[in-house]
Amino acid sequence: MQAMVYRGPYRVRVEEKDIPPIEHPNDAIVRVTQAAICGSDLHLYHGLMPDTRVGMTFGHEFVGVVEQVGSSVQNLKVGDRVMVPFNISCGSCYFCTRGVYSCCHNVNPNATAVGAIYGYSHTCGGYDGGQAEFVRVPFADVGPSIIPEWMSEEDALILTDACPTGYQGAEMGGIREGDTVVVFGAGPVGLFAAKSAWFMGAGRVIVVDHLDYRLERAREFAHAEVINFMHVDDIVVYLKRATDHLGADVVIDAVGAEADGSFLHAVTSNKMKLQGGSPVALNWAIDSVRKVGTVSVVGAYGPLFSAVKFGDALNKGLTIRAAQCSVKRHWPRLFEHVRSGILKPSEIVTHRLPLEEVAEAYHIMSSKLDDCIKPILYTHH
């Protein structure tokens, strides 16, 4: 099969790989029809995540058709169209039974720190991902869902990560009716977090980024107020002034480890690997939320230390909620929103390329070329 293969930072290409076999009676093999590139794939592409091994296939957002099932799989049959959450989870451990699929305890040798994710370095279990023609799906009765007949494949694809992650970012904020919500980052997750904040009763939603085309999308798609932090002297002071000098009720960090804004942090984290990511967005969140407010973190950070202003968080009495999204927990509600027309996840898709052009797709997304928000890779079947 053709598959995207990692060859080191900024180097990915399509190569021939063996089609993955069934390794366990619970496995399914899925023939991928569409896969997406996620902002957190860029952390791998830029070399920010530890133990990202040469030869690995990335991709944790994918949909496709069931090609083969293991002998004990009951919920899927060959030919089913399926959407697969980015979490690999067993469905029966302490965490899965509580709906926290992102913390599954049985699928990753490093499970004390994180669950398992398709195509996301050996820190997250070392599973090959879906930016390929075929992918092995473990615990096939737990993760995948059959795509409803009324749902488009592109909507299903965005529901495997970006949309539910943004939704959970808003949910973890504990938004109360009338709250002012600030979202840092106007990428796919930030856009969905901003839009979801309205579903939860926000009275005001403000999105902060430094790319005007992304802010324009936040205005159109999420109906948010927008601020380009490059156009103000001090974004924290600006946000304080905009919120009666108290700060926002809820701040959502949808940026993560690749925050722009501080040269020192960018060099020590992204270039010298001395930290697990630039803490700029998280520190802005801590500074711009009101006292006893909530900071919700869904941007991806590496496991290394980051210079976060924890003393300020303590003194302000903040609640900090952070998590990898437990995708499947949110599907019932999000399916309702899609079916009723309140939400069309695929609206954020800007680029559609064949799998063979994966290197170009990563370059476009990484360099923010051509007003890129979200690229999709198609396989030719």
HEC states along 278-312? CCHHHHHHHHHEEEEEEEEECCCCCCCCCCCCHHH
290 contact partners, CB below 8 Å, separation of at least 6: 243, 246, 247, 248, 249, 316
Write out the residue range of the structural domain in which residue 359 sits: 2-161+326-378
Query: Can you give the pLDDT at residue 261?
Result: 46
Which residue type, as a one-letter code, is found at position 324? Q
Name the pTM for this structure.
Answer: 0.94
93-107 tens-digit pLDDT: 999 999 999 999 999
The domain boundary residue, chosen from 279, 294, 322: 322
Q: Is residue 253 domain-shared with residue 351, that is, in the same domain? A: no
Residues facing 353 on adjacent strands: 377
Q: What are phi and psi of 266, to 5 degrees?
A: -60, -40
Assess whether 228 and 272 both reside in one domain: yes
Pairwise CA distance, residues 284 & 234, whole Å: 10
Of 278, 296, 322, the domain-final residue: 322
Q: Are residues 250 and 333 in the same domain?
A: no
Point out the domain boundary residue: 299, 322, 345. Answer: 322
Section 6-17 average pLDDT: 96
CATH of the domain at 290: 3.40.50.720
Q: What number is the average pLDDT over the span 246-251?
A: 98
Q: Please tell me whether residues 171 and 153 are part of one structural domain.
A: no
pLDDT band at 46, cuts 50/70/90? confident
Mean pLDDT along residues 128-140: 98
Q: Are residues 217 and 232 in the same domain?
A: yes
Q: Are residues 110 and 231 in the same domain?
A: no
The verdict on 317 and 172 lying in the same domain is: yes
Q: Tell me: the pLDDT tens digits for 267-287?
A: 444 444 444 456 788 889 999
- Rounded distance between C-alpha atoms, residue 185 and residue 347, angstroms: 17
Domain containing 44 — which CATH number? Answer: 3.90.180.10
- Apex 162 CA angle, 153 and 175, nearest 5: 125
Q: How confident is the model at residue 230 (pLDDT cuts 50, 70, 90)?
A: very high
CB 173 within 8 A of CB 250: yes
**Residue 264 scores a pLDDT above 90:** no
43 pLDDT more than 90: no
Q: Hey, which of 10-14, 270-274, 298-302, 306-310 has the most confident mean pLDDT?
A: 10-14
Residue 263 pLDDT class (50, 70, 90 cuts): very low
Res 253: pLDDT: 93
Give pLDDT, residue 255.
Answer: 84
Helix axes 162-172, 188-199, angle to 10 degrees: 50
Q: At what angle do helices 327-340 and 162-172 cross, to 10 degrees?
A: 100
For the chain, the farthest-separated pair of C-alpha atoms sits apart, in whole angstroms, at 62
- Res 259: pLDDT: 52
Q: How many domains are contained in the chain?
A: 2
**Among candidates 210, 150, 191, which has minimal Cα distance to 298?**
191
Residue 265 has pLDDT above 70, yes or no: no
**Do 172 and 137 belong to one domain?**
no
Q: Domain check: are 295 and 245 in the same one?
A: yes
27, 141: one domain:
yes
Alpha-carbon distances, residue 123 vs 206, 280, 365 (angstroms): 34, 24, 24
pLDDT more than 70, % of the chain: 92
Looking at the structure, do residues 64 and 179 belong to the same domain, yes or no? no
Task: Note whether 237 and 279 are same-domain residues.
Answer: yes
Residue 74, classed as helix, strand or coil, is coil
